[in-house]
Amino acid sequence: MTSQQRQQAAQRLRGNLGTFDIVFTVLAYNAPLTIIIGLIPVIIGMGNGLGAPLTYLAAGGLMLLFAVGFTTMARHVPNAGAYYAYITAGLGRSLGLGSAFMAILAYTFMLIGAYLYVGVTFSTISLSFVGLGKLPWWQWSLAFAVIVAVLGHFRISLSAKVLSLALVCEVIITFVWEAAVLQDGGAKSLSMSWLTPEVMTSGSIGLAVLFGVTCFAGFEATAVFREEARNPEVTVPRATYISIIAMTVIFASATFCFILGWGPEAALDKSINDPSNAGMAVIEMYLGNVGVSIVHTLVCSSIFACVLAIHNILARYIYSLSVDGVLFKSLSVVHPAHESPYRASGLVAVITILSLIAAIYSGVEPYAGYASLIGIAGYTLLILQILTTVAVIVFFIKTRNSVSNMKTKVAPALALIGLSATAWLATENIGLLTGSESVAHILLAFLFGSLLFGCVYAIRLKRSAPQVYKAIGRQNI
């Protein structure tokens, strides 16, 4: 082995993540309990009403179609760059690098938005038992940013344990509440007469599908952690499918029980007129004050697990680009003891804290800022899924292989149709998605500007640094 090969091997991440370690990271990223309490009433009230459970099933089916091509591509492009690597392999290095910068900015927006939501949630907690009372939102956000920075410095298995514990508790309390609703018979018996095919297309089906698909964003993390996975050829595809199926079951069953718990008419009324309190109120109806207290605690742990998961994903994107030489090589150094991308993680922590300080001094209203950043980041990840699907189709058209057309062309083509329709609906409703048309346009300018910058930068690298250009997309490391 040459000295260069030894150096490259030393830069590789290592780990022993199992299927469920990765699954828990993905599910923690999506913060299921937060979605159940905060988003289900929105989908019912602003979307297609009582057809919301079917919307989640349809969104889950679309994600499974996407996953067919995504996991098939993973076997032929065994790199940890996920969308970045796949778009490069299928559509070229220029668009691949542009998509990587776009993904990094999207995850940064999502991380900052999540920290703003941390502040909103925890600022209601009184610390009178230690003589402090309630703290302002920004103190909570900065404190959690420091804690996540510390965890991100260590081996990924430590973060995985934290995420697993938080997620298991979330899922248990969710199913306990659902069991209580079903055992009690709901508000008006367990009749399903209201769940008809017609309700699927009632109200605003466009917004419903848009919000539903957004809830599944981020499962590319299954491929981002490839280098740290145990037997990735098996672990990554298995974790991808389990994650999507688990999210579909959790979201669809919770929406169904939300409607049963209130009763169809009351569920519509509460979702339209009081969406911010409807989720917690129906939990209190069946689990009482003790259950609500537990849920409040788990919502806090859910949000913490979410920011930790996003931090780890973003750090590994930066690590991948630095290994390729696109970013500073010093960011690709792996910690000798913890085997973590600690410098990339440290950079994410610095960016996070500086962004929060900028938000504090600019007087950003935290909840409005959260809604705008999360909305536009979800939209961007949807665009990246479309590019990835096109890349899968093009890659397998150009590459001879023995994989069936169903996996390489038919399923990706169906996914492309569904994702494109969803993106069109998202574009038509971009103001509702972010809370402000003007803010949406500014954020979109940054995101598509990052795509263009990456494409131009790749062209420049082709002339000035051909070896770095060849490595784009984790193609030659």
**Quick one: tokens of 389?**
């699907």
Residue 347 is predicted with a pLDDT of 94
Q: Does domain 3-471 have CATH number 3.30.2010.10?
A: no
Phi, psi of 327 (to 5 degrees): -100, 180
Residues 396-426: tens digit of each pLDDT: 988 877 778 898 999 999 999 999 988 888 8
Work out the widest C-alpha separation in the chain, in whole angstroms: 72
Rounded Cα distance, 297 and 314, in Å: 26
Q: Provide the β-strand partners of residue 126.
A: 134
Rounded Cα distance, 440 and 446, in Å: 10
Residue 130 is predicted with a pLDDT of 52
Residue 377 is predicted with a pLDDT of 84
Residues 59-84: tens digit of each pLDDT: 999 999 999 998 888 777 766 657 88
Residue 7 is predicted with a pLDDT of 45
Which residue positions in the chain have pLDDT lower than 50? Answer: 1-10, 477
Residue 276 is predicted with a pLDDT of 72
Rounded Cα distance, 140 and 147, in Å: 11
Residue 417 is predicted with a pLDDT of 95
Burial class from Cβ neighbours inside 10 Å (0-12, 13-18, 19+) for residue 396 reads buried
Which residues touch 282 (CB under 8 Å, ≥6 apart)? 258, 261, 262, 270
Residue 248 is predicted with a pLDDT of 93
Which residues touch 437 (CB under 8 Å, ≥6 apart)? 430, 431
Q: Is the dihedral of CA 320, 409, 94, 466 positive or negative?
A: positive
**Quick one: tokens of 169?**
């508790």
Q: Spell out the SS3 assignment of 324-364.
A: HCCCCHHHHCCCCCCCCCHHHHHHHHHHHHHHHHHHHHHCC
What's the pTM? 0.84
283 DSSP 8-state letter: H
Residue 10 is predicted with a pLDDT of 43
Q: Are 87 and 320 in contact (CB under 8 A)?
A: no
